[in-house]
Amino acid sequence: MDAASYRLSETLAKRAMRSLRQTGIHAPEYFESTGFLTRVESMEDLVILLDVMHNNRFDDFVAELGGLSDADMAELLDAFVDYARFFLTQFPSAEIPIPLSGMLSQYAIALKLRGIPERKTVLEIGPGSGLLSFFLAKDPGVERYDQVEATESFYLLQSLVNRHVYGTRFLDHAQLDSRSLDLGGIDFETMRAQHKEILVNYEKPESLTVERRPRAEHFPWWRLEDLAARRYDVVTSNANLTEFSETALRYYASLFVTVLKPTGVFLAQCPGGGKTSGDVALRALMDVGLRPLVIAARYIGRNPKHPAALPGGKQLVTANLIFVPPGHPSYERASDPNQKMPIIDADDPLTRSMLGLDRIPGTVRSRDEVLAAVAERLVDLG
């Protein structure tokens, strides 16, 4: 999958849709307004996106997790080693960017998802650098992990990561299968029956068809109609809700509630740092019938002098949203209009498990300590 293939598929889709207003819903307006890399000329342009998220939050995430146990460290190191293999396979440089904060933030999301007992099917909107794949691919509770991405640069990076992590169990819906499109032919075999030597020493091509059984599927914005008929145990959209335009928020909130099973869960670790207000994002979720089980911020009233400690003194790195759809066992309680901020019920089992309120404390580890451990594991990799 490369930029040319992506753009061909996107162009054909736009021509087929014949609606500038509908295609405009999915334009990455916030990224474009800030000069972010949205289109690429070379696949090597993608390197800059590998460590572009969650800057300088490593220590904060270690604190949120209550430290890192030996098991946590082993899992993180395995992810970093696999990530390094991915980098060396895809890019020419021997200098591997190590996304310490980015990888740890995705590990925090993976742990929250593990707190959901029923998580066989997971959909993520806007996976960013795609690092969550390194964890969900190894989660035995996740049978399928699907992704939606509207920005070309991120889509191409995510596609590379998923091809590495999932191999033949990955299916990319932006990549056109020209054989299935029936674009044309010259009926060569009929003509060859009339004259065997049209092509001298010709050997008829042979092929075999296999059944594809993907564990991860990747959807560009123009293939969302295919996605809308599916149902998921979990929908997650992290650090991006406020980067949507208000129109896009209304669309994607509608998609969330459409594809969530009645027993499903919506998670957002961080609402994002875009121009759309957090209140607008919350209203979009509420307008489609989703209700908050958790709205927990890092600070009270966004004031750094007043940390919003969770039960047991736990503090989140960013605001976290956990919403449930109509039909969920906790929906009635989550619909209580008298709930006060921060919304969090320490007696709710799902809340406790997702936010790790009963997590056994680990060891406080520094960036340098983790980086040194990664370096030790990479000695024989090249």
Q: Provide the pLDDT for residue 303.
A: 61
Q: Provide the pLDDT for residue 312.
A: 75
Q: How confident is the model at residue 301 (pLDDT cuts 50, 70, 90)?
A: low
Which structure tokens are listed for 117?
């007992």
Residue 106, classed as helix, strand or coil, is helix
Domain that holds residue 30: 3-173+213-378
pLDDT in tens, 231-282: 999 999 999 999 999 999 999 999 999 999 999 999 999 999 999 999 999 9
**Alpha-carbon span 343 to 279, nearest angstrom:** 15
- Structural domain count, the chain: 1
Q: Provide the pLDDT for residue 34.
A: 85
Q: Is the pLDDT of residue 305 over 80?
A: no
DSSP calls for 201-261 = T-------------SEEEEEGGGHHHHTT--EEEEE--S-GGGS-HHHHHHHHHHHHHHEE
DSSP type of residue 305? T
Is residue 45 exposed (0-12), middle (13-18) or buried (19+ Cβ within 10 Å)? Answer: middle
Q: Is the pLDDT of residue 308 over 80?
A: no
Identify whether 208 is part of a domain: no
pLDDT in tens, 37-88: 999 999 999 999 999 876 789 999 999 999 999 999 999 999 999 999 999 9
Rounded (to 5) percent helix, strand, coil in the chain:
45, 15, 40
Residue 5, classed as helix, strand or coil, is helix
In the chain, % of residues over pLDDT 70 = 97
Identify whether 198 is part of a domain: no
**Alpha-carbon span 131 to 153, nearest angstrom:** 15
Q: Provide the pLDDT for residue 284.
A: 97
- What lies within 8 Å, CB to CB, of 176 at 6+ separation is 5, 8, 9, 12
DSSP type of residue 363? B
CATH of the domain at 131: 3.40.50.150
Sign of the torsion angle spanned by Cα atoms 364, 366, 369, 371: positive
Q: Provide the pLDDT for residue 211.
A: 94
Q: Is the pLDDT of residue 374 over 90?
A: yes
Q: Provide the pLDDT for residue 182.
A: 78
Buried b / exposed e along 320-351 (16+ C-beta atoms within 10 A)? bbbbbbeebebbeebeeeebeebbbbeebebb
Q: Give the helix ranges, DSSP H, for 115-176.
A: 133-136, 152-166
Identify whether 185 is part of a domain: no
What is the average pLDDT across 190-207?
93
The structure's pTM equals 0.94
